[in-house]
Each structure stands twice: as structure tokens, then as C-alpha cells.
Amino acid sequence: KDFATATPSWWCPGCGDYGVLSALKSALAELGKQPHEVAFVSGIGCSGKISGYLHSYAFHGVHGRALPVATAVKLANRDLTVIAAGGDGDGYAIGAGHFVHAVRRNPDITYIVMDNQTYGLTKGQASPTSATGYVASVSPEGNPDNPINGLALGLAAGATFVARGFSAQPKQLVQIIRAAIEHRGCSIVEVMSPCVTYNKINTYAWFKEHIEDAALRDDHRPSERTAAFDALTREGKIPLGIIYQEERPTLEERTHLPQVPIAKHDLHGDRGRYAALLEHYR
Ligand code: SF4
């Protein structure tokens, strides 16, 4: 099996997550990756199911904990292309602490946040990215909270690659995911991925009206952190594309671990080095 092999999936017809899966498969195929070269870690939620649909190594783990697992996988075997994925609730609510600390460490992994602005799996409650006033099953009078800006939070934490795509714009999304995987460091890709069953506000039509290509703006400067932060936080349309990118040493490079994967090591001879690593994270 390769990434072109069809897989059964159990999302609702029309769910934005299909577009993310398709773009991810295309990006990996274009990069010439084989399933045994990729490890995919996902959190809990509708989007978390994606790790079971790819034919790669996969770990569908604990709610909000995809990033520490993915970081550990990369430290153990830097030969693998490591991708983590989950929803806005998984990444920006229960997983928010891990999000900030994974980003600042800059492991060479890609994190895809499938943002549908609701908790789809549990029937449409307001999520961290739901707009103020969003009407949900448990907030019929409207969400009283302000939404979180996940990409701005990532940038403030020191992210080295920040991008946003839309699941209904596959060509751009494939390019973004390719660039994220090729980036040496922690890449955050937020994908607007509509929940057609529960979120009746942020629909495909709503996004088409509210998005713009960041690269078409005169003030688009993806190498400048302040300009990127302005782009992410200004009033107006939602910017799509690569918003920020810089080169910085990765976690693997800074830990000075042997480059050969743990599975191929003489553990007896390397015991001292791994004991030092465990001590570092104790
Ligand atoms: Fe997708 Fe929403 Fe259905 Fe979940 S409930 S599979 S997010 S459309």
C-alpha cells in the first residue's frame, strides 16, 4: 500500500477533514515518502481519526497529547517524517500547554490543526476557536467567550513555521503541507475544515467570503515575526498561506543525541547517553 491507496473513513459526508486527508496524501506522495517512512500521531476528536486513514505508522492517543508523543517519536528516530494532527479543541484547549512547549522546543515535526470552530465529535459545543455568540447545543444563547488565535499563540511561543490553509482549496493546501514537512523545525499548519453537521455558521460559503491569500497583500513579509503577528491579528479577512518561516536549530540537533535511531543502537554502549536524556526531561 502507498499513500494513493484508498482508505475507508467515517467522517460525515462533506466534512472538511476529507480535504485535509487528501491534501496530506498528495503532499507525501509528491515528496516521494513511503508509508514506512512516516509516523502519524493524532489526538481525540473527529479529526483525530485521520491517523487511521493514512497507511503510515500511526498512534491515535490521548486527548490533547499528540505533540509530546510526536516529539518523542522524532527524538527516538529522526529518520522518520513525523506528523501530528488534531482538532482545535484537542490542540488549543486540553492540549494548549503541550502546544506552547512543543513549539518553543522546535522539534522537526509537522502539526496540523483541523479547525472547525466547534467540538464535532460531542455534538457541536463551542470550542476555543468558536466566535463570540456562536450558538451551540450547550450554549443556546451564544458562546460568551472570545476565541483564541492559535497561530498567533504559536508565533508568540517561538514557532518557526506558521501557515493556514482551507480544506476546500486543495492545490494551496498541498503546497502548504509540503512546505511544512520540508521545513526543518516545528511547523504549525492550521486548516479551516468546516463541520457540516454542527457548525451552521462557519460553512464553506462563509469561509470563501472571509479568506484571502496572504501572499497577495503588499505587507506580506513571512520572514519578519512582527509583520506576521500583525497579519494574524489584524481585523478583516483571514489570511491563508505561509505566514511566517525562519531557520533555527531543532530540538534533535540541540540535544546532541546519536543520529542513528534507537531501534538500531547498541543500547548497552549508548546507555549513558539515554540516561542523560531521561535525566534532562525528569
Ligand atoms: Fe466532520 Fe462535523 Fe461530522 Fe465530525 S461531526 S465528522 S467534524 S462534519
Q: Which residues are within 8 A (CB) of 136 and not within 5 positions of it... i.e. 6 or more apart?
A: 118, 124, 125, 126, 130, 143, 198
Domain that holds residue 155: 17-250
Q: What angle do CA 270, 272, 274 make, to 5 degrees?
A: 75
Q: Which of 124, 161, 147, 169 is closest to 250 using CA atoms?
A: 161
- In one letter, which amino acid is 188? I
| pLDDT tens digits, one per residue of 226-263 | 999 999 999 999 999 999 999 999 999 998 777 788 77
Q: What angle do CA 5, 11, 14 make, to 5 degrees?
A: 95
Q: What is the pLDDT of residue 139?
A: 84
Q: What is the pLDDT of residue 276?
A: 67
How large is the greatest C-alpha to C-alpha distance in the chain, in angstroms?
A: 63
Give the CATH number for residue 220: 3.40.50.970
Q: Looking at ligand 1, which atom is closest to the CA of residue 47? A: 7
Q: How far is the CA of 184 from the centre of ligand 1 (A)?
A: 32
Q: Looking at ligand 1, which atom is closest to the CA of residue 46? A: 4
Residue 32 lies in a domain: yes
Residue 66 lies in a domain: yes
Q: Which of 8, 88, 1 is closest to 45 using CA atoms?
A: 88
Q: How far is the CA of 191 from the centre of ligand 1 (A)?
A: 14
When divided into structural domains, the chain yields a total of 1
| pLDDT tens digits, one per residue of 31-90 | 999 999 999 999 999 999 999 998 899 999 899 999 999 999 999 999 999 999 999 999
Q: What is the pLDDT of residue 261?
A: 82
Q: Whose CA is nearest to atom 6 of ligand 1?
A: 11
Residue 11 lies in a domain: no
Alpha helices in the chain (DSSP H): 17-30, 66-76, 88-89, 96-105, 150-156, 170-182, 204-210, 225-233, 251-255, 267-281
Residue 276 lies in a domain: no
Average confidence score pLDDT of the chain:
93
Residue 264 lies in a domain: no
Cα–Cα distance for residue pair 130/124, rounded to 1 Å:
10
Q: How far is the CA of 193 from the centre of ligand 1 (A)?
A: 9
Does pLDDT of 273 surpass 80? no
| pLDDT tens digits, one per residue of 123-172 | 999 999 999 999 987 889 999 999 999 999 999 999 999 999 999 999 99
Residue 240 lies in a domain: yes
Residue 267 lies in a domain: no
DSSP run (H or E) holding 110: strand 110-115
Q: Give the pocket of ligand 1 (CB within 6 Å).
A: 11-12, 15, 17, 46, 116, 120-121, 195-198
Residue 257 lies in a domain: no
Cα torsion 122, 180, 74, 19: sign: positive
